[in-house]
């Protein structure tokens, strides 16, 4: 039985990580776009989109600064802390989104019944 060489295993791992990351980005983009509209009242769509876009821009600035500080200045412990922060944010996203969908201004009682069971 032939074993897989280390470079081939590394390339496969990077390729798999790239595919997983790509699917995560696609799901994030679709979900954030949908939520940015679903949670805004119809008469305030433009204002909510402006705040949503501004929040995304601020997040990009803060995340780059935080990653630079933690990963370059703190070292390995910074990488671990950054990973923990990302994990915590990911785990908090589902219950936070469910709460927002349940209590958001654009959810009418008859629409709430159409939400997935996990969001009620």
> Which of 31, 39, 45, 34 shows the shortest CA–CA distance to 106?
39
pTM of the predicted model as reported, rounded to 2 decimal places: 0.61
Can you tell me which residue has the tokens 């935080």?
Answer: 66
The pLDDT averaged over each successive group of 10 residues in the chain (120 residues) is 74 94 90 84 85 90 91 91 92 88 64 54
pLDDT of residue 6: 85
Mind spelling out the 3-state secondary structure of the chain?
Answer: CCCCCHHHHHHHHHHHHHHHHHHHHHHHHHHHHHHHHHCCCHHHHHHHHHHHHHHHHHHHHHHHHHHHHHHHHHCHHHHHHHHHHHHHHHHHHHHHHHHHHHHCCCCCHHHHCCCCHHHC
pLDDT of residue 111: 54
């Amino acid at each position: 039985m032939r074993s897989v060489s280390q470079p081939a295993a590394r390339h496969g791992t990077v390729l798999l990580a790239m595919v997983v990351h790509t699917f995560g980005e696609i799901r994030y983009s679709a979900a954030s776009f949908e939520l940015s509209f679903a949670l805004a009242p119809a008469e305030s769509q433009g204002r909510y989109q402006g705040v949503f876009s501004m929040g995304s821009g601020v997040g990009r600035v803060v995340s780059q600064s935080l990653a630079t500080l933690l990963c370059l200045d703190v070292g390995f412990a910074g990488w671990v802390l950054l990973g923990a922060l990302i994990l915590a944010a990911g785990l908090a996203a589902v219950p936070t989104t469910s709460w927002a969908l349940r209590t958001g201004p654009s959810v009418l009682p008859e629409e709430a019944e159409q939400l997935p069971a996990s969001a009620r």
